[in-house]
Amino acid sequence: MTQLGINLPTLIVYVVNFAILLAVLYVFAYKPLLRAMDQRSERIRESLAAADRAQAEAASSQAAIQEQLNEARREGQRLLDQAREAADRYREEEMGRARQEADAFIERARADIQRERDAAVEEVRSGFADLAITAAERVIRRSVDRQAHQDLIEQVLDESGANMRQDT
């Protein structure tokens, strides 16, 4: 072995030194390094589990928020429908009230027109009766019984008015 350049006592010393170095490194470096790596992998595992839980919570929260949003949309649509319905009812009520007021106004106008017509006819009758009596007095040159002529004119006017109403 000496011919190969290997010295046996030196080789044994090197092997013993290497074994001691391995034992010291195993105790002081390798075990703490393995422990630190195990702790770090455990923390990573915990972090991944926490991230998965957070993701699941976020998904369930998102689903809950989406459901609340859908419920709010349905509620908003229901409120809009109620508002439209109330507006339609109000419009119908107001239109009915306006029709009633218009009908009442038309009835009052008709009654006023009828009153005015009756008053005008009465005025014309009265004026016509006075004119006829005055004309008859002048023609006859004497005073006629005013009440008798008034009754006669009223009768003639009533008969002619009845005939006119039958014609229309």
pLDDT in tens, 88-139: 999 999 999 999 999 999 999 999 999 998 888 888 777 777 767 766 666 6
So what's the pLDDT on residue 124? 78
So what's the pLDDT on residue 80? 95
So what's the pLDDT on residue 135? 65
So what's the pLDDT on residue 4? 72
Give residue 21's pLDDT band: very low, low, confident or very high (50, 70, 90): very high
Number of helices (H), then strands (E), belonging to the chain: the values are 3, 0
Q: Within its chain, how far is the Cα of 91 from the centroid?
A: 15
Assigned token pair, 76: 């908003």
CA–CA separation, 133 and 146 (whole Å): 7
Give residue 11's pLDDT band: very low, low, confident or very high (50, 70, 90): confident
More confident of the two residues 29 and 124: 29
Residue type for position 39: Q
Q: Over the stretch 64-100, which tens digit does the pLDDT of each residue have?
A: 999 999 999 999 999 999 999 999 999 999 999 999 9
CA–CA separation, 151 and 137 (whole Å): 16
More confident of the two residues 155 and 79: 79
Can you tell me whether residue 143 is helix, strand or coil? coil
So what's the pLDDT on residue 144? 56
So what's the pLDDT on residue 56? 93
Give the residue carrying structure tokens 């109000």: 90
Assigned token pair, 65: 């928020």
Give the mean model confidence (pLDDT) for residues 58-66.
93
Assigned token pair, 40: 């770090």
CA–CA separation, 91 and 68 (whole Å): 34
CB 133 within 8 Å of CB 149: yes
Can you list the pairs that 152-160 forms with residues at least 24 positions away whose Cβ atoms lie under 8 Å?
Answer: 153/125, 153/128, 153/129, 154/125, 154/129, 157/125, 157/128, 157/129
* CA dihedral for 8, 12, 15, 21, sign (positive or negative): negative
So what's the pLDDT on residue 139? 62
pTM score, two decimals? 0.40
The yes-or-no verdict on residue 141 having pLDDT over 60 is no
